[in-house]
Amino acid sequence: MEIPVLFWILAFTFANSLISFIGIFTLWMKDKSLAKILFVLVAFSAGSLLGGALLHLLPEALLSMGSMEASLVLITGFSVFFLMEKLLHWHHCHEGKCDVHPYSQLIVIGDGIHNFIDGLVIAASFIVNPALGVITTLVIISHEVPQELGDFAVMVHGGMKKKKALFYNFLSQLTCMAGGVIGYLFGSSFGAYSAVLLPFAAGGFIYIAASDLIPELHKETNIRKSMMAFGFFMLGILLMLFMKVYFGG
């Protein structure tokens, strides 16, 4: 009996969602030890967000729309994330005390959009050929591992408790399954709409990296630690470049 394509799509998008628990090893780390690695992971996340936006999402969008349209949607995404952060800041921090910084919530929203797109891609590849679907999922997972670790670090650095950060990271990853189901049900008819999400998510990632994460790195005045952070920032960009060159993701 042949296994339905939808089963494969659900199974592999769920497997991709489990990557969100990569930060679970930190639950047994002391806060002092975790604080030492969070700084470089935030730097790594800033680089991977910029690299993912400019080397993966935006070029992919340009295959489906003109450069002017893609640029306008990217600016729209950047502006919407700017507005969302101001609203979140007003809602949570208007009394001058901010236990959880708004960028912790923004990273969940931005990653949720990105994971939804991944689900659409996985569904499309399984519809064409199950073997292609498996390969596509493995490529996406290899890209997700470092990014999810960076996202987790950003949430904890922004004030979230570790268990809460793991939970929200998992919720944002579950949108991959939603994307897989919608991709299966609507197929190519959803393609034009999904293409718009690519530069929109890219704009959100650029906003988070440039407005929130890089300023956090500037707070470090020690030259050795600053150079180490810059090194991890570049490592994040180079990893995204490597994934683009060798896997075409």
- The residue that leads in pLDDT, 78 or 141, is 78
Determine the pLDDT at residue 79.
94
Average pLDDT over residues 2-17: 84
**In this structure, is residue 28 part of a structural domain?**
no
Q: How confident is the model at residue 243 (pLDDT cuts 50, 70, 90)?
A: confident
How many domains are contained in the chain? 1
**In this structure, is residue 80 part of a structural domain?**
yes
Lowest mean pLDDT across 46-55, 152-161, 223-232? 152-161
**In this structure, is residue 25 part of a structural domain?**
no
Domain range for 131 is 5-17+34-247
Q: Is the pLDDT of residue 24 over 70?
A: yes
**In this structure, is residue 27 part of a structural domain?**
no
CB-based contact 180:120 (threshold 8 Å): yes
In order of 73, 120, 181, 190, 193, the CA distances from 186 in angstroms are 23, 10, 9, 6, 11
- Reduce the DSSP state of residue 107 to 3 states and report it: helix
Determine the pLDDT at residue 191.
57
Q: Is the pLDDT of residue 185 over 50?
A: yes
Q: For residue 138, which amino acid is it?
A: L
**Greatest Cα-to-Cα distance within the chain, rounded to the nearest angstrom:** 63
Please, what is the average pLDDT of the chain? Answer: 80
Q: Is the pLDDT of residue 230 over 90?
A: yes
Average pLDDT over residues 80-108: 69
Determine the pLDDT at residue 120.
81
**In this structure, is residue 22 part of a structural domain?**
no
**In this structure, is residue 177 part of a structural domain?**
yes
**In this structure, is residue 97 part of a structural domain?**
yes
Average pLDDT over residues 53-64: 85
Q: Is the pLDDT of residue 127 over 50?
A: yes
Average pLDDT over residues 108-133: 79
Buried (b) or exposed (e) across 33-44, using 16+ Cβ within 10 A? Answer: ebeeebbbbbbb
- The residue that leads in pLDDT, 225 or 190, is 225
Closest by alpha carbon to 208, among 173, 175, 244, 236? Answer: 236
Determine the pLDDT at residue 232.
92
Q: Is the pLDDT of residue 239 over 60?
A: yes
- The residue that leads in pLDDT, 16 or 177, is 177
N-terminal to C-terminal alpha carbon distance within the chain = 33
Q: Is the pLDDT of residue 231 over 50?
A: yes
Place of tokens 């306008």: 72
Determine the pLDDT at residue 155.
81
Rounded to an integer, what distance in angstroms lies between the CA atom of residue 112 and that of residue 135? Answer: 22
**In this structure, is residue 118 part of a structural domain?**
yes
Lowest mean pLDDT across 46-55, 129-138, 236-245? 129-138
Rounded to an integer, what distance in angstroms lies between the CA atom of residue 141 and that of residue 235? Answer: 18
